[in-house]
Chains A and B, each alone.
Chain A
């Protein structure tokens, strides 16, 4: 907060602060609880949970099958879950299929595995263009998709939130699960890029 302390809040920021204060005054919430959530999302919950899930799926074929069949149960095995995770569906990238996740209506996103979405995910440009011209969007992220590879766009809804299981990078045959997790980027789980190369 300190770096922005001298800057005046925009109207929406002032309104948000007023609403928080009102909810505190009503006894609905406490400022401490808000602090705790801010802290958790900035420092603890992030794409690292998703990366652990993907890395496990890369090394454990049985887990991978369970993950694709019933993601909420599978991620619970790793202690990952919570609000929004109960609607999680994992879609798998293969040689023939690339998956791309978007929420055209607002910004549904599997927080427990991916943290809070980046601003571009929530932008009107991404929300509209991911559906209308997904290959062009992928190209802008540096991801060239050959014409013979199918691109599937998954539009999140109240019932389903999607996570892409990227392809395991080549040259990682002997890698441990922990090493592999470091290659799994947030963007690769949204589907706009591949997992990082070793």
Chain B
């Protein structure tokens, strides 16, 4: 549970996915919980899935909720 996993990100795309969500939530004027609730649901939907995969699923859900006009 420790040594190999003692870093926040295994790969650079995970840091970008993290930052994309942080920036998007702020830019959209949403409370952080708007993302957090989706993350919670994504983690619950597939507990064995890697964490950052769940993160991307939550981001996907957030983006899908935006109107086509943006």
Residues in chain A within 8 A of chain B (CB atoms): 1, 4, 9-10, 12-13, 15-17, 19-20, 22-23, 26-29, 33-35, 37-38, 41-42, 83-84, 105-108, 115-120, 122-126, 137, 140-141, 158
Q: Identify whether the interface residues of B are mostly helix, strand, loop, or mixed.
A: helix
> Please, how many angstroms separate the alpha-carbon atoms of A122 and B10 in the complex?
12
Query: B51 — nearest CB in chain A belongs to which residue?
Result: A122
Q: A119–B6 contact, CB under 8 A?
A: yes
Query: B67 — nearest CB in chain A belongs to which residue?
Result: A26
Q: How far is the CB of A155 from the nearest CB of chain B, in Å?
A: 13
The 7 listed contacts between A and B (C-beta, < 8 Å) are A12-B57, A27-B70, A29-B23, A29-B24, A106-B39, A107-B39, A107-B51
Q: B56–A12 contact, CB under 8 A?
A: yes
Apart from the given pairs A4-B12, A10-B11, 20 other A-B contacts in the complex at a CB distance below 8 Å: A9-B13, A12-B13, A12-B53, A16-B17, A17-B16, A23-B20, A23-B63, A33-B27, A38-B16, A41-B8, A83-B26, A83-B32, A105-B43, A107-B39, A118-B7, A122-B51, A123-B51, A124-B48, A137-B1, A158-B37
> Please, how many angstroms separate the alpha-carbon atoms of A122 and B40 in the complex?
12
Known: A15-B56, A38-B15. A20 touches B20 (CB 8 A): yes
Query: B17 — nearest CB in chain A belongs to which residue?
Result: A16
Q: A119–B8 contact, CB under 8 A?
A: yes
> Please, how many angstroms separate the alpha-carbon atoms of A107 and B43 in the complex?
9
Q: What are the residues of chain B within 8 A of A41 when measuring CB–CB?
A: 8, 15, 18-19
Question: Which of B12, B14, B27, B57 lies at the interface centre, i.e. has the most chain A CB atoms within 10 A of its CB?
Answer: B12
Category for how many chain B residues contact A: 35 or more
Query: A22 — nearest CB in chain B belongs to which residue?
Result: B63
Q: How far is the CB of A146 from the nearest CB of chain B, in Å?
A: 22
Question: Which of B1, B7, B12, B57 lies at the interface centre, i.e. has the most chain A CB atoms within 10 A of its CB?
Answer: B1
Q: What are the residues of chain B within 8 A of A106 when measuring CB–CB?
A: 36, 39-40, 43, 54
